[in-house]
Amino acid sequence: MRLLRKRHLGTHFSLVADRHAQARQRDGFTRRAFLGGAGVALGLPVLESLAPRSIRKAHAGGAPDLRLVTFYVPNGIDMDDFVPQSTGPDYAPTAILQPLFDMMVEQNTLVLSGLDNEPAKPDGPGDHAAGTGGFLTCRHVNKSETDIVNGISMDQVFANHLGDATSIASLQLGIDGGASVGNCDSGYSCAYSRNISWADEGTPLPKLTSPQVAFDLMFGGYDPAATAEEIARRRAYRMSILDYVEQDATALQSKLGATDRIKLEQYLDGVRDLELRIQNSGDGPVCDTGSFSYTFADFPSHVQVMLDLIVLALSCDTTRVVSFMLGNGASGRSYDFLGVPGAHHDISHHGSDPALLDQLRIIDTWEVAQLAYLLDRMRAVTEGDSNLLENSLVFFSSEIEDGNSHSHYNMPIILGGSAGGQLINGQHLSFDNGKVSELFITMLQSLGVDIASFGDDGNGPLAGITV
């Protein structure tokens, strides 16, 4: 993470602008602000009240900042209970899609069927590793433990497009750790199974699995001018970062309009609540050099805290690009908290066994419920006349179609948000021989990227999903 420049306004209040905002600083203003004090810098959400009236009026008609979230779930989906029977806006929810309706976010999503990711097919066995490696790259990865060859992932194409717009170019989060070395699937490197974001053909971007580490990276950055004593005090007593910036927040309140004051209060309350939850739950495993373990004490709360971190990171513009892995490729996690003991990967090889399909449906429905939770939280963050979800794209899918078939055709896909109203939501759309790479081109174009091809087989946008 690059260093941030700081300029002080008075004794306590300071604005820290990233390099992308320096042009706005020529007018003495940046909407991206940080509270700073006692060796801590806390990113704030966009607050329009900090702008002079002329700039505020000019910005009101401008395009919103757009964000991208990619949400990976392992072992495919039971497609018979995922794909709706009808297409269009009046489709009836299947069992697995029901959480979207329960959270009333179905009108903020597109359910897509019939899209293939053929480049993700492996050379012989290894569908999970090849599929996870090609999840966001749509590339045919090289089958080797040491000679790693993939391609840039679509989230990193967007991150490169944004450049220095945010303090963190992109954020990689997940639940299961593990090193990117060794054989994880039939001769395929663990780099493929344990990462979905790739900076280039040979560089996977490892994910953070500890909520505390991720939180400190995003919100607990230390002021370079802090003394060793101040930093030690923060670490020793694990005091809330809000304790350090309380005076700044009080001073800032008087500078804000009524709407922004409410936004600031809600944001600070959310940060404090999340930090307390993280501190009470412990760090959990980050990663190790051998095989990963499932020893985190509370898997559901671990997932929820990570999803809350995503919302906070996006809402305060710490980053606009986040990838999230609910598990590594071919995850063997047990979902006994749902009444489904046994390894997820083994259950996904259902062989059309009704008992296994019932168990798989429970797992898949819970996974979609986590997506629905994230979408609902994003929708609750207001941005002018819109909201965070409306100004984002959230891609949800898996490395294979179905765990039993290991197919890379007719991938299970849910697309949330609309990139500022550019996508047609609230529908199930089915395609004949459509490509995931084409979907990515459409998504990237909607996010403002000038791109005409992507991956091994993407040579144009996917028609029919934009306004």
What digits encode the pLDDT tens for the residues 369-384?
A: 999 999 999 999 888 8
How much is the pLDDT for 36? 57
Instruction: Determine the pLDDT at residue 455.
Output: 98
Confidence (pLDDT) at 216: 74
Which carries the bigger pLDDT value, residue 258 or residue 87? 87
Average confidence (pLDDT) over 178-192: 93
18 pLDDT exceeds 80? no
Smallest CA-to-CA distance from 20 within 150, 210, 168, 148 is with: 168
Nearest to residue 416, comparing CAs of 374, 359, 466, 462? 374
Q: Which fold has domain 63-210+284-467?
A: Alkaline Phosphatase, subunit A (3.40.720)
The residue-averaged pLDDT of 101-114 equals 98
Return the minimum-mean-pLDDT range out of 47-51, 252-256, 332-336, 416-420. 47-51
Distance set, CA 90 to CA 85, 280, 394 (Å): 11, 44, 22
Can you read off the two tokens belonging to residue 32?
Answer: 């991206």
**In contact, 177 and 292? CB cutoff 8 Å:** yes
Q: Model-level pTM?
A: 0.83
Q: Which pLDDT belongs to residue 265?
A: 80
Weakest-pLDDT range from 23-27, 173-177, 365-369, 379-383: 23-27
Which pairs with CB-CB distance under 8 Å and at least 24 residues apart come from 429-433? 429/87, 429/110, 429/111, 429/112, 429/113, 429/464, 429/465, 430/83, 430/87, 430/112, 430/113, 430/114, 431/112, 431/113, 431/114, 431/115, 431/462, 431/464, 432/114, 433/114, 433/116
Determine the average pLDDT of the residues in 400-419: 97
In contact, 309 and 211? CB cutoff 8 Å: yes
Helix orientation angle between 258-281 and 299-315, rounded to the nearest 10 degrees: 150
Sign of CA dihedral 218, 220, 226, 231: negative
Specify the higher pLDDT residue, 297 or 104.
104
Question: Which residues in 191-286 belong to E strands, given as ranges?
Answer: 198-200, 203-204, 221-222
d(C-alpha 206, C-alpha 198), whole Å: 9
**How far is it, in rounded angstroms, from Cα 434 to Cα 464?**
11
pLDDT band at 316 (very low <50, low <70, confident <90, very high): confident
- Kindly state the percentage of the chain with pLDDT values over 70: 76
Confidence bin at 43 (pLDDT 50/70/90): low
Q: Which 3 state secondary structure label does DSSP give 46?
A: coil
Mean pLDDT, all residues of the chain: 83
Q: What are the structural domain ranges in the chain?
A: 1-62+221-282, 63-210+284-467
The average pLDDT across 444-451 equals 98
For residue 171, what are the contacts with CB-CB under 8 A and spacing of at least 6? 208, 214, 217, 218, 310, 313, 318, 319, 321, 322, 323
Contacts made by residues 249-257, CB under 8 angstroms, sequence distance 24+:
249/35, 251/10, 251/12, 251/13, 252/13, 252/35, 255/49, 255/50, 256/47, 256/49, 256/50, 257/48, 257/49
- What is the rounded CA–CA span in Å between residue 287 and residue 273? 26
Mean pLDDT of 408-416: 98
- Residue found under tokens 């997820």: 344
**Whole-angstrom Cα distance, residue 149 to residue 142?**
5
Mean pLDDT (whole number) for 336-352: 97
